[in-house]
Chains A and B, each alone.
Chain A
Amino acid sequence: MSEAQGQRTIRCLIAKVGLDGHDRGAHVIARAFRDAGFEVIYSGLHKSPDEIVTAAVQEDVDVIGISILSGAHNTLVPKIVEGLEEYDAFEDTLLIVGGIIPEDDRAGLREMGVAEIFGPGASMDETIEFVRENAPERD
């Protein structure tokens, strides 16, 4: 939308879900996104998929970054996707996953609707660029 209001601010939810209590990575990402000019909402630790869905819907975020280091991604991610669908919020929300995801699981996650997976060693610039380019087109 060409509008004099200037650039739209990208809103992101950085989500920690399940029992995994390691949030260093989530913090680093939150800060980097903020410095990139995004508005970042951090979920806090140990959230249920329902809580993530509530936050994503209410905050109307463009992007959900789910950080999972516990290995439970194959059960948690589908629950989040289902919840988003229930509120009609799945279609135009960019879903990315960061953390430790085995190679074998990646195709499956993509099939569920995850746009990209950032493992250890992914560069911050690359992640930010990906979000900028793929944040859903809204007005």
Chain B
Amino acid sequence: MAGSDTDEAETTERSADQQLVEELLAGKHRALARIISKVENRSPGYRDLVSALHAHTGGADVIGITGSPGAGKSTLVDKLAKRYRDQGLTVGVIAIDPSSPFTGGSVLGDRIRMASNTADMDVFFRSMSARGHLGGVSTATADAVTALDAFGKDRIIVETVGAGQNEIDIVKTADTVAVLVPPGSGDDVQMLKAGILEIADVFVVNKADIDGADRTVKELQEMIHGRGDLAGGHHPGDGLDVALSDRTGDDEGWEPPIVETVAKSGEGVEELLETLAEHAGWLDDSGRRQQQARTRYAEEIRTLLREDAARLVASEVERRGGLESFAEAVLARETDPYSVADDVIQPIEDCVEGRK
């Protein structure tokens, strides 16, 4: 293809993207949906899109909800969204579902639980599959949150199964993280130990009407107390909420409370809302919101740089005949892995050094 043709195509694409951004900022739902698709697919030009939107963000409270499958996340999100709407707030929801590692296909089922809001365009619900995104799902999620924030959503809820590092990274895009624990599941509490505990700002024992809920609350308390000093119980509550030790203890102590809910009937949802609002207030008062955002952006930049550098190296390897041929040479004892790595990195290093 001739160079001029490509340039022309690029120009039209850019202006089409510009129009999309303008439409999103003007409140057009279709544009918002399309931009989320573009960041999710990593379509050409998605980086410019996110860049253009960034200046318009910062207005939303982002809430992460995670927990084991069947904990009742989607039902609870539905109820939360409904309450926010009743308060006159607009809501964005991103629900992340696993996809098949074999076909890449998936059935994204969280939407079915959104029974209270299905025809309400101001609850913008988007299902995302945890397919093998470049740079991980967490980057795509963060970009989708940026789009919803720029659109002007007051509250953004990110919902995901809490099963591994990936999911932990996803909920880190949130200002406030709620971890759901279904009752009667000693194993789930065990699972929480593996890293999910540390990210919780609020614990929610959902399905609190089920036998064993009390025990789960108790187990949670014990476990949380076990990891640090007792901070003493001064969280305002009606006996359901229990104050817990703070994770670090020295930063004006936010103590992750335990809230009991029955998402299906809506019981306890009001308390959860208050607790979330309290946490948001604490973030503002203590300056933690800024601090968290700073850490988050640093992490994001680091991820992007790693991604971009990896791509740079990959194309250099490709240019030199591909990884296979290097492996072949190593196998034949003509060279070794370290020398190959040095060799490939050398020109890049020279470039960087030369610019000093």
Contact = CB atoms under 8 A, between A and B. Distances in A.
Contacts of A133: none
Given A40-B108, A43-B111, A57-B29, A51 B43 contact: no
B112 A42 contact: yes
Contacts, number: 97
Interface residues of B, number: 36
B118 A51 contact: yes
Interface in A51-93: 51, 54-55, 57-60, 87-89
A48 interface: yes
Nearest to B38: A139
A54 B44 contact: no
Contact of B106 (A34, A44, A47, A51): A34
A5 B105 contact: no
Interface residues of A, number: 35
A103 interface: no
B29 A87 contact: yes
B129 A39 contact: yes
Given A48-B119, A60-B37, A5 B134 contact: yes
A35 B105 contact: yes
Contact of A55 (B38, B43, B111): B111
B121 A43 contact: no
Nearest to A30: B107
A39 B28 CA distance: 24
B299 interface: no
Contacts of B99: 39
A37 interface: yes
A34 B29 CA distance: 26
Interface in B107-136: 107-109, 111-112, 115, 118-121, 124-127, 129, 131, 134
A20 to B, nearest CB: 17
B33 A40 contact: no
A9 interface: yes
B43 A139 contact: yes
A50 B120 CA distance: 9
B43 to A, nearest CB: 5
Nearest to A53: B119
A9 B41 contact: yes
B165 interface: no
Interface string B89-115: 000000000011001111111011001
B109 A9 contact: no
Contacts of A3: 43-44
B41 A39 contact: no
Nearest to A5: B42
B301 to A, nearest CB: 22
A30 B119 CA distance: 22
A66 to B, nearest CB: 16
A39 B108 contact: yes
A3 B148 CA distance: 26
B118 A1 contact: no
Contacts of B145: none
A138 B34 CA distance: 10
Contacts of B28: 88
Contact of A50 (B43, B119, B131): B119
Nearest to B115: A44
A112 B221 CA distance: 60
Q: Which 8 A-B pairs have the closest CB atoms?
A: A60-B33, A34-B105, A44-B112, A51-B118, A50-B119, A37-B105, A37-B103, A60-B37
Interface of A: 1, 3, 5, 8-9, 11, 30-31, 33-44, 47-48, 50-51, 54-55, 57-60, 87-89, 138-139
Given A39-B129, A59-B125, A60-B33, 7 more contacts: A34-B107, A37-B105, A41-B127, A44-B112, A54-B119, A57-B33, A139-B44
11 contacts: A1-B44, A5-B42, A5-B43, A33-B105, A34-B105, A35-B103, A36-B103, A42-B109, A58-B124, A60-B34, A87-B30
